[in-house]
Amino acid sequence: MAAKASIMPVISKLYCSSSQVVLVVRRRPHVVNGGGFVVTDCSQKVVFRVDGCGVLGTKGELVLRDGNGDALLLIRRKGGMVEALSIHKKWKGYTCDYEGSQKLVFTLKEPRSCLARTNAIRISIEPKGSSKEWDFEIKGYFPDRNCSIIDSIGNIVAQIGVKKEVDELMASKDLYHVAVKPGIDQAFILGVIAVLDYIYGESTRC
């Protein structure tokens, strides 16, 4: 009997599946609702949407929504003098409760240079439950649609890629897939991808 996958909710256990889930990401052009992307499941149902900061949005701010359009995650780039003095720029992801108060759930550090393929992008889950400096890391290069999100002990929790038949039809790579491992919070993974999209100047960027 196969071992049951451990559930790792970051945003909600509602977005953790007991089996691997493959999601399809389709980028929206900036002229449509300010850019961003739409995420569908294997039945082509919209399960997530990310709004960029194009038409009415705010620079350095992204919103992850569920399939009904309700906000799940507000992601902000940390600003001010602290950022100017820091080596790494940071992104912070917040959930909102019914009363509107925000709760910090993850922090992502940008690489020193987006041009270098070897710079680590690391994510910490908040509040920190251990002494580890980081909980997840990006391996590979997002603009190539060939990268993985791994945990601190080296397990792959999500893979981002382009299927060969899709790659041939869409050289622009506006369509790619994300395989999320069992027990991993899909909403959290898409929040991380939203930040990667912005860092590398793609559909969510102003």
pLDDT of residue 87: 52
Q: Which stretch of 60-69, 81-90, 188-197 has the lowest confidence by average pLDDT?
A: 81-90
- Whether 180 is covered by a domain: the verdict is yes
- Whether 21 is covered by a domain: the verdict is yes
**Per the structure, how many domains does the chain have?**
1
pLDDT of residue 80: 46
pLDDT tens digits, one per residue of 174-201: 789 999 999 999 999 999 999 998 888 7
Query: What is the DSSP annotation of the chain?
Result: -PPPPPPB-SS-GGGB-SS-EEEEEEEPPTTTTTSEEEEE-TT--EEEEEE-SSSS--TTEEEEEETTS-EEEEEEE--SHHHHH-SS-EEEEEEE-TT--EEEEEEEEPPS-SS-SS--EEEEESS--SS-S-SEEEEEEGGGTEEEEEETTS-EEEEEE--HHHHHH-TT--EEEEEE-TTBBHHHHHHHHHHHHHHTTSTT--
- Whether 158 is covered by a domain: the verdict is yes
- Cα distance between residue 47 and residue 116, in whole Å: 32
- CATH code for position 65: 2.40.160.200
Comparing 1 with 131, the larger pLDDT belongs to 131
Taking CA atoms, 152 is separated from 12, 52, 142, 191, in Å, by: 21, 29, 19, 18
Residue 28: which domain range?
13-199
pLDDT > 60? residue 102 = yes
- Whether 2 is covered by a domain: the verdict is no
pLDDT of residue 194: 93
Quick one: average pLDDT of 161-168? 61
- Whether 132 is covered by a domain: the verdict is yes
For residue 143, say if its preceding peptide bond is cis, omega within 30 degrees of 0.
no
Quick one: average pLDDT of 56-80? 83
- Whether 8 is covered by a domain: the verdict is no
